Structure 1
Amino acid sequence: MSRVFLLSANVTTEPYPVYPLGMAVIAGALDQAGHQLRQFDFLAAGKSKAALRQALAEFAPEFVCLSLRNIDNVDSFGGEDDWYLAQARKLVQVVREATAATLIVGGPAFSIMPEAILDYLGADHGVVGEGERVLVQLLADLKAGRPAARLTSEAGAGLAGEEMAAPLLVPELVEFYRQQTGMVNLQSKRGCPFSCSYCTYPGLEGKRFRCRPAPAVVDDIKRLQAEHGIESLFFTDSIFNDPAGHYLAVAEEMIRRGVQLRWSAFFRPQGLGRSELALLKKAGLYALELGTDAASDATLAGLAKGFNFAEVEAVNRACVDEQLPCAHFVIFGGPGETEATVQEGLANLARLQHTVVFAFSGIRLLSKSPLHAQAIREGLVSADQSLLQPVYYYSPNVDRDVMNATIEESFRGRRDRIFPPSEGQKRMAVMHNFGYRGLLWDKLISFGRSRRRHGAGN
């Protein structure tokens, strides 16, 4: 077996620091295969290159596996420091100077544009998509001197739910993220059958949900609690509330086994009523992040969301009635956006009570998304234009500056309406400095008036 150094390159803390789950899952698979491992999180190490050099020297790896979570922060207001590939290349330089080990790169960001990123970083090999099985085989081939492709990927439909490795967490890293956010991450399924025009999830994880057995998910939760004292969790599924109801089975299993844990997840704002929310709340759900994405029926259709704003309002009302904080993430400027839809969208958002809205301007174009093809058809980008550096889609029918000013004016004076995204970071930082941990945005919501209006327990 081999000595394998796993390196998480993610340093973003927006909207909050996130445990490097991808690295932990790969570590679980490699550990099961008998490899000697060292997991190194550049963020948790204080972004110290000296610490990275020392760790590499002490461990003396045969292979270094670099995990890329994000290309950039997908914020059109971002600057040069928000393009994370440049930072990753500096880490590659450190690795090359410190060791002669073979360098392999993977992760969700890498898998979006693998050829271009592999060339830019100058790594030896790349793993596209999920890597539990692929990386184990690649290491075996390289160790044995067998020829190996520069890029490798999982064949077929990918791992079945029961084949997905459980994450191998590092106590020191758990403590770092506990101090930062009070929570770690877990995945109950992969894939997404929906066709949102900007999204890369179906291309990365497949166009169907591959669900881990509910007992296995809860086994992981119980193990995280027993071994690491975890008290709060975030499910990193593309969306948690799949139409087939696997998410309800997970909640029911948590209740059946007496799991005492606060958790949150990313939800689709459709088909989620009070009965479902009541069950989830009983299982420990304390807040929902909603992929609303647009604020009018026209722009929802433009993004191929598959639901309308009336459904968004219904989910929001159900959250209020169940006293569950929710946050809507909304993008302005997408396909179908006009000056009229901006005004309509802001009026729609104003009707959402007891909720936080995070608004974004423009949509980061990614090469495996339908929106990229649309942008080429509309002449906004050329077919051969590189998307390594951020390029944003804006509807030809809006003036970007006027739209941004209109959003800012609509949100002015409201602590529960956040635009531009950097404003959210400022507010979260203040709460963090006062000792708050977790999602933080949920602290911006009060249900005092909703109890009087709706009646507690109705």
Structure 2
Amino acid sequence: MARVALVNLASLPMPGNEPIFPIGVRCVQDALDLAGHETRLIDFVQSPGAVDDLAWAAESWDAIGFTIRNIDPIDLSCDGHVEHYVRFMNRVRATLDEAGGQRPLLVGGGPGYTLFADQLRGLLGFDVGVIGPGEQAMLDILAAPEEYRGLAKNITGRRYKGFLTEVLRHPEALMKVYTRFEGAMIGVETRRKTCYQGCVYCPYAYLNGDNSGDLKPLELIADELRAIHAAGIRRVFFTDGIFNSELRFAKQVVQLITELSLPGLTWSAYFTPKPFDDEFAALLAESGVEFVVISPDSLDDRVMKLLGKTFDTRHVDRCLERCRKHGIPARVNVVFGGPGEDDTSVRNSIKYINSKLHDGELVMHVGYRVLPQTGMARQLGISDEGLLAPTFYPFHPDTFSWIIRDLENRFMPPSVLFNFMAARSASKRMAKVPLPGDSLNSAPTEFPYLALSRELPLA
């Protein structure tokens, strides 16, 4: 059996980074523990001193796995995280060199790594990287570690059968340290099934890989929720791409939550307005759901279609009507600046917001981060390497002015206005790169491109 350190790089202190409970690396750790390996999770929220004191790296590990959740905050006003990862990994390798002896196998993975695996593996100095699900891949690697030492390649993760048979129980101390953050939630995964929608900005299908459409048995979900509640945690977020993509199963999960009747437990998830029937809304109302999050991303039907949505504003109307009928709070995500966005579409979205959304229901952003393996990336014809620095889909420079002109002040409290102005300022500093000739006619001829503030340190 192997000794393995698992390092949550997503917990590094970086500008714009908001650490989220590391459910992905915890799934990998749990799989390794069940197989008899000895593991330790290095999380810098739980152990802040481990960022500077790398004595843990020099211990006698057979392998050290590093997980990357995000490449950048996907926000116009923020820089990327890659340079921070590179600098940290340079320090880790220097520590290992000073320690002498055989260096442990260095493995990279996580959703952010998966998107840029070919670029990040060499940049960060990993022996091998994992694309997609990590549990079974790590088990495979540890079964024959010498086959991967110095491999300098990425491998594709495989389906992990333990998802259907094993209860995932997180260390209580780790859960509690993350719930110190305002608004913090613990993530719970109910299914591993690729989202059926084809949104042009979303890489979920690529991230999930070959998942065989597994739905976690209800008894495992119940045991996980009981353990979370027993640790004193009261807020849960179901991390599925779309919670109600399979309405029958979603109803079963919601009914389970109601039947568990865990005092004070509240939960949320990402929902789609379709399917979302009255029976489902009634079940939600009885379950302690905190709010329903839907992401039409635009409230102009033409732009919604260009975004790849399988629903339109009529379905948003019905979803909101059902939520209000049953007293369920809602959050509506709108991102201005997508394909085909113009003055008319912005005006249409804002007309809908002003007339149909209640105070506190709007979650607003400007600019779509272009990610590899998405329809947006294919439209722009940019290589994965070219997307490593924060890169945003083309939008008209007057978009900010159009929003300010028409949006009612109740949707622009000081905190939102401050972030909005920061994004507007950042967009003006971006370099402009010509679009390919076959891009959408309604898009500008250039798109904003936010380069890293300085060159990356050499790996």
TM range (shorter): 0.7 to 0.9
Aligned with 1:403 (options 385, 399, 402): 399
Deviation of 1:107 after TM superposition, in Å, equals: 0.3
Separation in structure 1 between the aligned mates of residue 285 and residue 70 of structure 2, nearest angstrom? 31
Aligned letter for 1:2? A
Separation in structure 1 between the aligned mates of residue 147 and residue 117 of structure 2, nearest angstrom? 25
Contact kept? 1:364, 1:393, Cα under 8 Å: yes
Correspondence list, 1:337-416, <5 A: 337-354=341-358, 355-376=360-381, 382-383=382-383, 386-395=386-395, 399-400=396-397, 402-411=398-407, 413-415=409-411
Deviation of 1:419 after TM superposition, in Å, equals: 4.7
TM-score normalised according to structure 1 size: 0.81
Which ranges of structure 2 fall in alignment gaps of 5 or more residues?
97-102, 423-459
Per-residue deviation, residues 371-392 of structure 1 (Å, max 9, x unmatched)? 111122xxxxx45761100111
* Aligned residue-pair number: 408
Aligned with 1:300 (options 299, 304, 315): 304
Separation in structure 2 between the aligned mates of residue 369 and residue 43 of structure 1, nearest angstrom? 32
Separation in structure 2 between the aligned mates of residue 268 and residue 30 of structure 1, nearest angstrom? 34
Correspondence list, 1:42-441, <5 A: 42-46=44-48, 49-51=51-53, 53-57=54-58, 59-78=59-78, 80=79, 83-99=80-96, 100-142=103-145, 150-155=153-158, 158-159=159-160, 162-163=163-164, 166-180=167-181, 181-190=183-192, 191-206=194-209, 209-226=213-230, 228-260=231-263, 261-354=265-358, 355-376=360-381, 382-383=382-383, 386-395=386-395, 399-400=396-397, 402-411=398-407, 413-415=409-411, 419=416, 422=419
Per-residue deviation, residues 154-212 of structure 1 (Å, max 9, x unmatched)? 35xx3468447644523332111121145311111122121111110011114874321
Contact kept? 2:127, 2:150, Cα under 8 Å: no
Per-residue deviation, residues 326-364 of structure 1 (Å, max 9, x unmatched)? 211111111121211111111112123324212222211
SS of alignment partner, residue 138 of structure 1: helix
Closer/same/farther in 2, CA of residues 170 and 279 from structure 1, 3 Å limit: same
Separation in structure 2 between the aligned mates of residue 197 and residue 386 of structure 1, nearest angstrom? 18
Contact kept? 2:67, 2:108, Cα under 8 Å: yes
Contact kept? 2:191, 2:214, Cα under 8 Å: yes
SS of alignment partner, residue 356 of structure 2: coil
SS of alignment partner, residue 179 of structure 2: helix
Separation in structure 2 between the aligned mates of residue 182 and residue 152 of structure 1, nearest angstrom? 33
Contact kept? 1:358, 1:421, Cα under 8 Å: no
Separation in structure 2 between the aligned mates of residue 197 and residue 291 of structure 1, nearest angstrom? 13
Aligned letter for 1:202? A
Closer/same/farther in 2, CA of residues 236 and 384 from structure 1, 3 Å limit: closer
Contact kept? 2:164, 2:217, Cα under 8 Å: no
Report percent identity of matched pairs: 25
SS of alignment partner, residue 268 of structure 2: strand
Which ranges of structure 1 fall in alignment gaps of 5 or more residues?
377-381, 426-458
Q: Does 1:41 align with 2:43?
A: yes
Closer/same/farther in 2, CA of residues 47 and 120 from structure 1, 3 Å limit: farther
Single out whichever of 6-15 and 229-238 deviates more from structure 2.
Answer: 6-15
Closer/same/farther in 2, CA of residues 151 and 225 from structure 1, 3 Å limit: same
Q: Does 1:31 align with 2:41?
A: no
Contact kept? 1:330, 1:360, Cα under 8 Å: yes
Contact kept? 2:126, 2:152, Cα under 8 Å: no
CA RMSD of aligned residues (A): 2.8
Structure 2 match to 1:436: none
Per-residue deviation, residues 291-312 of structure 1 (Å, max 9, x unmatched)? 2211210110001111001211
TM-score normalised according to structure 2 size: 0.81
Deviation of 1:60 after TM superposition, in Å, equals: 3.5
Closer/same/farther in 2, CA of residues 160 and 145 from structure 1, 3 Å limit: closer
Aligned letter for 1:188? T
Contact kept? 2:267, 2:289, Cα under 8 Å: yes
Single out whichever of 66-75 and 288-297 deviates more from structure 2.
Answer: 288-297
Separation in structure 2 between the aligned mates of residue 47 and residue 316 of structure 1, nearest angstrom? 46
Contact kept? 1:327, 1:358, Cα under 8 Å: yes
Contact kept? 2:133, 2:209, Cα under 8 Å: no
Separation in structure 1 between the aligned mates of residue 343 and residue 324 of structure 2, nearest angstrom? 30
